[in-house]
Amino acid sequence: MRVPSPHRRQDLPTRKPSGGAPRSAAPPKKSPAAALAREPDRPLRARAGKEEQRIAKLLARAGIASRREIERMIAEGRIAVNGTAIDTPATLLTSLHGVTVDGKPVQAAAPARLFRFHKPAGFLTTERDPRGRPTIYDKLPPGLPRLVPVGRLDMNTEGLLLLTTDGGLKRQLELPATGVPRTYRARAYGEISQAQLEELILGIEIDGIRYGQIDANMERRTGRNVWIEMTLTEGKNREVRRVLEHLGLQVSRLIRTAYGPFPLADLPAGAVDEVRQHDLIMFRKSLEQGRPRPPKAERPA
Over the stretch 129-169, which tens digit does the pLDDT of each residue have?
A: 999 999 999 999 999 998 999 999 999 999 999 999 988 88
Query: pLDDT digits over 10-48, tens only?
Result: 444 445 444 444 454 555 544 443 443 344 444 444 344
Closest CA to 70 of 158, 167, 153, 149: 167
Q: Sketch out the chain's domains with CATH numbers.
A: 43-105 (3.10.290.10), 114-289 (3.30.2350.10)
Residue 273 is a catalytic residue = no
Instruction: Determine the average pLDDT of the residues in 185-210.
Output: 95
Catalytic residue among 87, 129, 138, 154: 154
pLDDT tens-digit series, residues 223-275 = 899 999 999 998 788 999 999 999 999 999 999 999 999 999 999 999 999 99
Tell me the average pLDDT of the chain. Answer: 82
Q: How far apart are CA 61 and CA 53, in angstroms?
A: 11
How much of the chain exceeds pLDDT 90, in percent?
A: 57
pLDDT of 86 > 90? The answer is: yes
pLDDT at residue 179 is higher than 70: yes
pTM of the model: 0.67
Contact status, residue 60 vs residue 112, Cβ threshold 8 Å: no
pLDDT at 9 over 60: no
Mean pLDDT calculated for residue range 48-68: 78
Mean pLDDT value of segment 294-298: 39
